[in-house]
């Protein structure tokens, strides 16, 4: 069962890659940039979701401080 699942995922991925390769260069660039944008957007949305879930302001500020320190270090 795992083998069949793997083959289906690989076939869909190969189809997507074929479409991107046959597409015009600007469209290919757009596809790559949009993928990066959406992946970064998902991380931003996850962090926003955490902030929405924990509405305690002090907790949010502490998390923000730790994130800023983590990025600066």
What range defines the domain where residue 40 resides?
Answer: 2-72
- Which stretch of 17-31, 32-46, 51-65 has the lowest confidence by average pLDDT? 17-31
* Arithmetic mean of pLDDT over the chain: 64
Handedness of CA 68, 69, 72, 73 (dihedral sign): negative
Check residues 63 and 24 and name the one with the higher pLDDT. 63
Write the pLDDT tens digit of every residue in 3-31: 555 455 555 555 555 555 555 566 666 66
Count: domains in the chain:
1
What is the rounded CA–CA span in Å between residue 10 and residue 1? 14
Q: Can you say how many angstroms the Cα of residue 24 is from the centroid of all Cα atoms in its chain? A: 24
């Amino acid at each position: 069962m795992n083998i069949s699942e793997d083959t289906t995922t690989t076939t869909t991925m190969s189809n997507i890659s074929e479409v991107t390769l046959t597409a015009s260069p600007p469209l290919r660039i757009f596809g790559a940039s949009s993928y990066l944008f959406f992946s970064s957007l998902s991380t931003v949305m996850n962090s926003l979701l955490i902030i929405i879930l924990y509405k305690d302001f002090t907790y949010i500020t502490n998390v923000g401080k730790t994130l800023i320190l983590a990025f600066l270090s």
